[in-house]
Amino acid sequence: MLLIPAIDLKDGHCVRLKQGDMDQATVFSENPAEMARHWLEQGARRLHLVDLNGAFAGKPKNEAAVKAIIQAVRDFAAENEIDEVPVQLGGGIRDLDTIERYLNSGVSYIIIGTAAVKSPGFLADACSAFPGQIIVGIDAKDGKVATDGWSKLSGHDVVDLAQKFEGYGVEAIIYTDIGRDGMMGGVNIDATVALAKAVSIPVIASGGVHVLADVEALCAVEDEGIEGVICGRSIYEGTLDLLTAQERADELTGVYPYDEGVS
């Protein structure tokens, strides 16, 4: 079970939103690269970046911050003589040229969200052009998919859409319950498990992690196909200690950072 720190980028700063509301942004760092390094020092094995401005604008808006984070990841790996930690990035990615540019700059996985729902042909093309590097982000409330930075609810059913995207060849699904994101009220375990059971690709949970018990609850259902969980406000506000939580998750799932094949 991977605990994946979220670094949400707004105007070049590291922030957290409540339920996707750009007007409810709390700035946690004015230097996202330093924040990335902090999470690496706390044992993060993957980083989750979101260009919030890009998500609303429909095109990248925080590329400079992303590149600085990639450099911080590279520097950390070189200093500690370890493999680079994978970085996944979403927000405002609407064309293949942008995907290629980000992957060439050192991003490991591209997350496609709104564009996957509105332009499924684009998602299919992306999976074909960049196999193994495309993750789809499904944001939902009450079982229905949301788009446009969570500002619009579509009529699409989460499971139906996930199965369709799986057929395109996406690497994994990030499932966010937008009613819980940023609220630290606990993960929607039932909905996440239902989705994981419906597909054969890994599901990454997102939204609602608050305390260690939330991580333990996810570890208990990891075998259903839940690969990891994105941690945001909880690790920034200190209700969850990343290092302790990852060690506990490793203990519960029998995975250790230096086992062969674990990244």
Residue 142 annotated in active site: no
Residue 8 annotated in active site: yes
HEC secondary structure over 164-230: HHHHHCCCEEEEEECCCCCCCCCCCHHHHHHHHHHCCCCEEEECCCCCHHHHHHHHCCHHHCEEEEE
Catalytic residue from among 23, 95, 139, 259? 139
Within a 10 A sphere around the Cβ of 169, how many other Cβ atoms?
16
Q: Are 85 and 73 in contact, with CB atoms under 8 Å apart?
A: yes
- Which tokens go with 255? 């995975």
Nearest-angstrom CA–CA distance, 110 and 87: 9
Q: In Å, what is the CA distance from 257 to each residue of 82, 221, 254? A: 12, 20, 10
Closest CA to 17 of 91, 116, 119, 94: 91
Identity of residue 145: V
Catalytic residue from among 8, 177, 181, 214? 8
Nearest-angstrom CA–CA distance, 242 and 140: 26
- Residues marked as catalytic: 8, 139
